[in-house]
Structure 1
Amino acid sequence: MIEIQPHPYYQLELTSGWTAQGETAEILIGKASYQYDLEGYVQPLAESEPLSQSDEYPEDDPEIHAPICFRETVPFKYGSEIVMFATAHCAAPRSGFNVEAALSTEEGIQWRKMLSVMGPRTWKSSLLGAAYSDPEPITELPIRYEYAFGGRNTKKEHDVYPTNPVGRGYVGNGLKKTDLSEVLLPQIEVPGDLIKKPSDTPEPQGFGPIPPHWHPRQAAFASLDEEKAASREKYPYNGPLPETAYHSAPKNQWFDKSLHGPAKLTLTGLTQGVPEHQPLTIDWTIPSLTLLWKTRSFEDHITLKADTLVVDTEKRQLHLLYRRAFTQLPKRLMAELHVVEHGIVTEPEAAHG
């Protein structure tokens, strides 16, 4: 049996799974965790955070909440993605302000996303039809889908907005004008493209993970064969899965390339203690991992690059996830882990099986 011995810094797990094409595989997953300060200086945590095995929700209720944690031990991902758990901050109460996150890497990833956050608003009647009230002042707002566009029709229990059932602003069918005052408007939107009328259905906005039971992620798993799943077969789907089936981030936070080498993360309006107009720039190097698989007759070096960056702006932490599928592994082997950073290879830690 193959076993991965504990590493003093990296979290490592070898688990059974499959490739996007349905081929049975052993999946090696690694995790590295870092702390950054208000100057943008990055250093490793004494021990990386444990790998998350499942989605988790406030009050353990996925019907009314978005995830506070997502499953990290998925079998595969295409390219890479960034997932952010973030809160918008400003120094003094304001009706609204913009926040921004940006990422650039040596691999050619250039990403930038700006959101408008504002205080609570409701619809009100006017001579020209429905209008929204002035936003109440706020100093902070969690960037969560509960505050983005979506939600449920207050008069029809099963009429929900499929891309964000837990949000606010969705009117649906059958609401009267007198009912609109009960509908809260979204507090997270795209700058310059704010909701204008009750019938608008904009794309829900956020930085955080989208659960697999929401559209469009749900469609990626439509080929699930319930009989195969019930019999616990290795691959319970009829046909290949999309290569992006296990991406948790919004689509505009996916990248075709892996995460590797010098990287710059810039956060504006997302750090308590830093003025909302002042960017916090985090420069650090995303390391590669090199594995040396060994048996008496077999030896192979394999380089792993990160496929997921998780940012927690409240804890000021960064987490990198590494993943590799092995479709053919000897039953007994030794694996040595090397960390490649700034051109320096650290001493290996052995994993025995």
Structure 2
Amino acid sequence: MRRKFSVRSRRQPPPVSESWWRTRTAPVAEPAPPIPVPRLKQLRNGTSFPHFQFDKMGKGRRFHDVVVVCASFVLAPGRLEPAASHHGPVFADEPWDVAHPTLSSLREATDVLLRKPGADVYVTGAARALDWTPRSEWHAELLVHRQCEPLLKKTLRLTGPRQWNWHEDAAQRRLSDPQPTLAVPLRYELAYGGWGFDKGDDESAPPRTHAANPCGSGWFGSAAREEHPGGRHGTGQPFYGPQLEHAATALQHANQEDARPAGFGPVARFWQPRVALAGTYDDAWRERNAGQPYMDYADDFDERFFQYAPADQVVAGGLRGDESLLMSGFFASTPRIEAELPRLWIEALCRNGAGAERSEAMKLDTVHVDLDEMLVHLTWRLTLDQALDTVAVDLFDRPVAEAAAGNGTPQGVPA
């Protein structure tokens, strides 16, 4: 503790040098302003589903209060019914391989995001051969429609285990015929992609990775095993091949330039094409942010970066809650399941600091189908710019029919 001296003290302060005094009296830099405290002070959840509130910074250093509501439903034909317990929210991405998260596909994706421009529909778990009969290949199809309007349709070819036959030229490696199987895990480890080395790479160089799927199989780089000690393909030894591919474009050989990873699951934020949406973080960006308390997003940041589903599994504008899922080729017990979303939307009655009220609809922006648990997990999101000074929110679940019939449809319910 610094000793205090007063004019009444008989003791005098010790002599100090001029340089010491200057260091003690030099102007002190202003501390960075703290992150704004959440404006949302009161949240009452009138639904039976769990919720989570957090704050996030958006582009332009605009802070937002965000609320998510998560619910789980039993995957079965007909309208989805609530599960015995609800899963979520998911607080962080969960990779299958926690030791190598950047080189692993995701078991599930986080709900803690600012917002999603569209709605993610993704599938995890294992697809199973019909009638519990081993099959060498079959097609799996995911279809989402609203009444007669198709919103997304995707078909993949699933195969049993197969191998890349050895050839010193990676581009000449061919896939063996698939073996019969009872199930195919829907993981990007079983899709086209991978890592490897190119000819001329230094022995200490890190491996090169396939930008869209570093954990897959079929992309090996140009160097054979004997050309680089770190090569992943042993001389003369077969290597496991992909079991997921696009139905319309079968793989012809390894290192195929036009080959794309195939999958129904969430795409990691480190992978292309998703990571490109994060924008450009270069010297110009660092210069613009120099001296700022918070680093802003890049000028070319695209909020589609927050979407986890493959681009062809994103429903533009979001979902209403009365859409249907038609899934075939995923189940051992039945050729297909057509399930209807629970026809619910969640109303948020918002009040600002001046007492003015408004009604908004939480956006249904995530549908996660878990085949292993036979559950469908839904996430609704409310994103509030703190400039609106929303201090209180009450949540209620409503039938979709109310939104369709009402003249004053709350903001956020898709038409």
Q: TM-score range by the shorter chain?
A: 0.7 to 0.9
- Helix, strand or coil for the counterpart of 1:146? helix
Quick one: distance in 2 between partners of 1:288 and 1:250?
25
2:88 is matched with 50
- The superposition leaves residues 208-237 of structure 1 with CA deviations (integer Å, 9 ceiling, x where unpaired) of 111111122222224456899999955532
Distance 2:191 2:149 in 1: 30
d(CA) in 1 for partners of 2:221, 2:300: 35
Q: Which amino acid in the other structure matches residue 301 of structure 2?
A: L
1:187 corresponds in structure 2 to 243
- SS of the residue 2:276 aligns to: helix
Greater fraction of residues in strand: 1
Spell out the pairing of 1:50-89 with structure 2 (5 A cutoff): 50-61=88-99, 62-89=101-128
State the shift of 1:189 in Å: 0.5
- Cα RMSD after superposing both structures: 3.1
Report which stretch shifted further, 12-21 or 247-256: 12-21
Q: CA contact under 8 A between 1:169 and 1:183: conserved in structure 2?
A: no
**Residue 287 of structure 1 contacts residue 340 of structure 1 at CA under 8 Å; is this kept in 2?**
yes
Please name the residue that 2:213 is paired with: 164
What CA deviation, in whole Å up to 9, does each residue of 1:23-72 have, x standing for no partner?
221122222221123x4452112443221111112341314421112111
- Deviation of 1:19 after TM superposition, in Å, equals 3.5
Greater displacement, 184-193 / 99-108: 99-108
Q: How far apart are the structure 2 equivalents of 1:203 and 1:123?
A: 17
Is 1:327 matched with 2:385? yes
Partner AA of 1:138 in structure 2: T
Alignment of 1:81-160 (within 5 A): 81-90=120-129, 91-105=132-146, 108-124=149-165, 130-153=173-196, 157-160=206-209
Q: Is the 8 A contact 1:264 1:282 kept in 2?
A: yes
Is the 1:20–1:76 Cα contact (8 Å) retained in structure 2? no
DSSP-derived class of the 2:133 partner: strand
| Alignment size in residue pairs | 339
Q: 1:220 to 1:131 in 2, by over 3 A?
A: closer
State, as a whole percentage, how many aligned pairs show the same letter. Answer: 21
Kept after mapping to 1: 8 A contact 2:278/2:298: no
**1:204 lines up with 2:264 in the alignment:** no
Deviation string, structure 1 residues 120-168 (Cα, Å, up to 9, x no partner) = 2223369xx6433221211101111010001112787512111100111
Amino acid paired to 2:299: G
Structure 1, residues 173-219: CA drift from partner, whole Å, max 9, x if none? 12279847443321100124211122314110001111111122222
1:268 aligns with 2:328: yes
CA contact (8 A) 1:265 1:281 kept: yes
Q: CA deviation at 1:271?
A: 2.2
Residue identity opposite 1:255 in structure 2: V
Offset from partner CA, 1:69-94 (integer Å, 9 cap, x none): 21111001112221211422112112
Distance, in Å, in 1 between the alignment partners of 2:292 and 2:113 is 17
Q: How many Å separate the matches in 1 of 2:311 and 2:78?
A: 27
Decide whether the 8 Å contact of 1:289 with 1:340 is kept in 2.
yes
Higher helix share: 2
Superposed, which structure 2 residues align to 1:263-342 within 5 Å? 263-274=323-334, 278-294=335-351, 297-328=355-386, 333-342=391-400
How far apart, CA to CA, are the structure 1 residues paired with 2:47 and 2:345?
A: 17
Query: Contact conserved, 1:226 with 1:236, CA < 8 A, in 2?
Result: no
Residue aligning to 1:213: 270
Residue 21 and residue 205 in structure 1: after superposition, are their counterparts in 2 closer, same or farther (change >3 A)? Answer: farther
- Would the alpha carbon gap of residues 309 and 233 (structure 1) be closer, same or farther in structure 2, given more than 3 Å must change? farther
Name the aligned partner's letter for residue 152 of structure 1. W
When structure 1 is superposed on structure 2, of 325-334 and 26-35 the one drifting more is 325-334
2:158 alignment partner AA: V
